[in-house]
Structure 1
């Protein structure tokens, strides 16, 4: 997630997640249930996670999202309720979007970010991935050189690190790339997508996308790196275009990428469709700048970053990934997924192409009396100050409280007065039901190192609750790869 050295630019960027002085409420209403019940509190022993998952020298993290404006029209509140372990709560059926609660024709996507710096501090290796529960793995992040060439951000982690059985003299791709390619061979429904950019390197998109030559260099080199590494598509994580000109250039960049992917497929993998996806914001100051209709012509899936709605930049505690806005608790629900989703659907984006983001981390607030209340300081965190891995939550002595009215969970310890906003199995299941009621395309998680193993895994819980997962097969043949183990499959 976010390196401490990036906190200042994060705070400056988070304006999309913080109410602007001149922003007006969205006209989209939030159809919260009138018949919800509130959950019961469950106290758990803390399960501690790993150390900070950041690279030793590569600051390639990002704040995952900005958030949407508040929206009127929610039902009257009920007292927050105790959380259950079963996660049986469900949102009401909805007629919004395409509606109907049907799954995509090819099955739901269960998408997971894997960071190439997670092998260091977090000690999260490719072998730790729940490959049988994931349909698309977003390998994060590739960097961009000044001329637009897409390059490895960490050659050691990507292709040089030696795992058991690797040697440095075979001409093979070692490192994470070699390990993940081996996972593809064992799990033929696992598609791996090269994610380019991310928070730190997003400014590099601006000059590259501004010229036809830059776009061509970007697209051709992205496809080459994808093929060298034996991947199944490209993901663009540009945070964020800030003008109509940049928005138009983003569309042109996607067009160039789509054409390059199709040209490569025609030559080297006839009949295979390489995916092109984007990470997309939940904050109006960002998504209202983008030409969503223009982008949609080239995009296979939109990964909606539906988190970071609250954090250390706020003056009060709040839910960081709530589904709905509640006018009775406006300070706790400044933004909501429902408002952002309503906007995307209104722009003509097909619901089955939108993939709902969920966090595998929590945002901490100290010295507070509860949700929507003032606070002072943030917790120590397992990623950085203020950010805990989900696998380190709830903290010892904290109680989890799930609010069905807004579709959000937090934990609170009255002794330490620390509140943490995050998802657990119950809230993730609630969001899965919401996603299905809206006929969305699936779920996407930031990021793998934060998840729990076993019964507490959110990736596994959501996979099971979605039921039918995308069963399209990956590709194993890359005759032009520079690496023998990938070229010779």
Structure 2
């Protein structure tokens, strides 16, 4: 069934999602082998209800927890994110030349062929396993990509439609604005239209939204000079959405630009982030253009559903029918727990 994709990365409201991107796996630069980046968290840590007395070679950790979610929600698919953050990207940020772009295409083709062969070996349809990329939204980076060739092997594109403004800029700005007064400035709409113009079908474009904010200190607000970014939830200048707005700050929503922020006049600090009214506006935009859905970075930063401020649920209520595509539970070559747990 054709419907919207709702892609998340982490405390997991799985009933609202179609996909989870599990980030990140690493790549051995010598062999090309993909391997887990945090074995303890991925497969070893015991959560509540896990026994220390099990016999055999069993899997625990986040991957066991996610497997149990897949059993509860047969529409929940798990995509392994390879690279990204501090690893070698298919979160490739970014090909710098035509040869890089061609190498990217070649890699994706090899991956697609391997996934098709795996599906056939298990008696599954060729498209059983999905292949996606985290795609840039800046004109320079998009212009280097061989989009039509990539699109032939990708199931969908996760547009990283955030980080349009930050500590690298001279003035405070909107990090994920839907529109921009500057026709050459970054925005969600400009990025979407670049990919559409390159021939990507609307239903294959999934719009990324941030669940975090970027701070600008010693400023009078958007478009004004600033000095420093201050502290943050996990990195200087980076705040989890669940910590916003900060005490003493007021929220602002500019629906003309599709942008929101908070401002503390005493501290003269602006934090750019998406609020519920703005993610609702973006969801309407996605529906109007027939785009493929929404991707979030990252789920752990969201407010609880009980608070009434949860962004994931806010958007889920606007998207309408979610795509239905049954997941897979049969892993005959995996650890003993998974081999015996599919029933």
User: Structure 2-normalised TM-score?
Assistant: 0.94
Q: Cα distance, 1:270 vs. partner?
A: 1.8
Alignment partner of 1:200: what SS?
coil
Q: Cα distance, 1:167 vs. partner?
A: 3.8
In structure 1, the partner of 2:39 is 155
Q: Cα distance, 1:334 vs. partner?
A: 3.8
Unmatched 5+ stretches in structure 1: 1-104, 115-127, 206-235
In structure 2, the partner of 1:472 is 325
Distance (Å, rounded) in 1 between the aligned partners of 2:160 and 2:34: 23
CA deviation string 1:118-146 (max 9, x = no partner):
xxxxxxxxxx2101011100000000002
Q: 1:326 aligns with which of 163, 181, 201?
A: 181
Q: Cα distance, 1:237 vs. partner?
A: 1.1
Q: 2:87 aligns with which of 198, 201, 204?
A: 201
Q: 1:311 aligns with which of 155, 161, 166?
A: 166
* Equivalent pair of 1:268/1:478 in contact (CA under 8 Å): no
Distance (Å, rounded) in 2 between the aligned partners of 1:394 and 1:165: 36
Do structure 1's residue 457 and structure 2's residue 310 form an aligned pair?
yes
* Equivalent pair of 1:268/1:479 in contact (CA under 8 Å): no
Alignment partner of 1:288: what SS?
helix
CA gap of 1:131–1:106, structure 2 versus 1, over 3 A, is same
Q: Cα distance, 1:343 vs. partner?
A: 1.1
In structure 2, the partner of 1:396 is 247
CA deviation string 1:20-41 (max 9, x = no partner):
xxxxxxxxxxxxxxxxxxxxxx
Distance (Å, rounded) in 1 between the aligned partners of 2:59 and 2:156: 28
In structure 2, the partner of 1:133 is 16
Q: 1:256 aligns with which of 68, 87, 110?
A: 110
CA gap of 1:237–1:348, structure 2 versus 1, over 3 A, is same
Unmatched 5+ stretches in structure 2: none
Distance (Å, rounded) in 2 between the aligned partners of 1:485 and 1:468: 34
Distance (Å, rounded) in 2 between the aligned partners of 1:268 and 1:431: 39
Q: 1:189 aligns with which of 75, 78, 83?
A: 75
Give 4+ residue runs of structure 1 displaced > 6 Å after superposition.
Answer: none
Residue range with higher mean Cα deviation, 335-344 or 349-358: 335-344
Alignment partner of 1:463: what SS?
helix
Distance (Å, rounded) in 1 between the aligned partners of 2:57 and 2:312: 34
Distance (Å, rounded) in 2 between the aligned partners of 1:485 and 1:465: 38
Distance (Å, rounded) in 2 between the aligned partners of 1:335 and 1:446: 18
CA gap of 1:269–1:174, structure 2 versus 1, over 3 A, is farther
* Equivalent pair of 1:312/1:378 in contact (CA under 8 Å): yes
Distance (Å, rounded) in 2 between the aligned partners of 1:366 and 1:142: 35
Q: Cα distance, 1:170 vs. partner?
A: 3.5
Distance (Å, rounded) in 1 between the aligned partners of 2:322 and 2:66: 20
In structure 2, the partner of 1:239 is 93
- RMSD, matched Cα: 1.5
How many residues are paired up? 335
Q: 1:346 aligns with which of 173, 176, 197?
A: 197
Q: 1:486 aligns with which of 333, 338, 341?
A: 338
Q: Cα distance, 1:269 vs. partner?
A: 4.7
Distance (Å, rounded) in 2 between the aligned partners of 1:269 and 1:433: 39
In structure 2, the partner of 1:179 is 65
Alignment partner of 2:85: what SS?
helix
* Equivalent pair of 1:106/1:472 in contact (CA under 8 Å): no
Report 1:203-222 matches (<5 A).
Answer: none
Q: Cα distance, 1:471 vs. partner?
A: 1.8
CA deviation string 1:437-467 (max 9, x = no partner):
1110000000011111112111111111102
Distance (Å, rounded) in 2 between the aligned partners of 1:354 and 1:251: 18
CA gap of 1:269–1:131, structure 2 versus 1, over 3 A, is farther
Do structure 1's residue 281 and structure 2's residue 136 form an aligned pair?
yes
In structure 1, the partner of 2:4 is 108
CA deviation string 1:128-182 (max 9, x = no partner):
2101011100000000002200001010010011112324543221010011101
CA deviation string 1:204-253 (max 9, x = no partner):
x6xxxxxxxxxxxxxxxxxxxxxxxxxxxxxx211111111111111111
Q: Cα distance, 1:106 vs. partner?
A: 2.0
Alignment partner of 1:341: what SS?
helix
Report 1:373-412 matches (<5 A).
Answer: 373-412=224-263
Do structure 1's residue 143 and structure 2's residue 143 form an aligned pair?
no
